[in-house]
Amino acid sequence: MTDGDGERLVRVFSSDARDDLLLPFAVEALDLRGRLARLGPTVNTILSHYDYPTSVARVLGEAVTLTALLGSILESHGRFQLQTRSDGVVDMIVVDYDAPGRLRGFVRFDPARAPSAAPVGELLGKGHMALTIERDEDAARYQGVVALDGGGLAEAAHQYFRQSEQIPSFVRLAVAEVVTPQGRGWRAGGLLLQYLPASGVAARDLPPGDAPSGGLGQDAPEEADAWTEGLALAATLEDHELVDPSLSAERLLFRLFHERGVTVFAERELKAFCRCSDARVENLLRSFSNEERGAMIGDDGRIGVTCEFCGTLRGYDPKLFD
Do 250 and 191 belong to one domain? yes
Q: What is the CATH number of the domain that holds 288?
A: 3.90.1280.10
With 0-12 / 13-18 / 19 or more C-beta atoms within 10 angstroms meaning exposed / middle / buried, residue 84 is buried
Do 158 and 261 belong to one domain? yes
Query: What does the pLDDT average to over 129-156?
Result: 89
| Among candidate residues 31, 105, 35, the one with its CA nearest the CA of residue 75 | 35
Please name the amino acid found at residue 5. D
Do 58 and 193 belong to one domain? yes
pLDDT tens for 185-197 read 999 999 999 999 8
HEC secondary structure over 198-263 = CCCCCCCCCCCCCCCCCCCCCCCHHHHHHHHHHHHHHCCCCHHHHHCCCCCHHHHHHHHHCCCCCE
- DSSP secondary structure letter of residue 67: H
pTM summary value: 0.86
Question: How much of the chain exceeds pLDDT 70, in percent?
Answer: 86
Do 257 and 190 belong to one domain? yes
pLDDT tens for 220-253 read 556 689 999 999 999 999 999 999 999 999 999 9
Do 139 and 203 belong to one domain? yes
Do 149 and 291 belong to one domain? no
Range of the domain at 287: 278-321
**Does residue 12 surpass a pLDDT of 90?**
no
Please name the amino acid found at residue 294. G
Do 83 and 223 belong to one domain? yes
pLDDT tens for 34-47 read 999 999 999 999 99
**Does residue 301 surpass a pLDDT of 90?**
yes
Partner residues linked to 307 by β-bridges: none
Domain for residue 317, yes or no? yes
Average pLDDT, the chain: 87
Do 260 and 300 belong to one domain? no
ω into residue 100 within 30 of 0, thus cis? yes
Structurally, the chain folds into a number of domains equal to: 2
Query: What does the pLDDT average to over 165-175?
Result: 93
Q: What is the CATH number of the domain that holds 206?
A: 3.55.30.10
- Indicate the range of 11-25, 79-93, 224-238 predicted with least confidence: 11-25
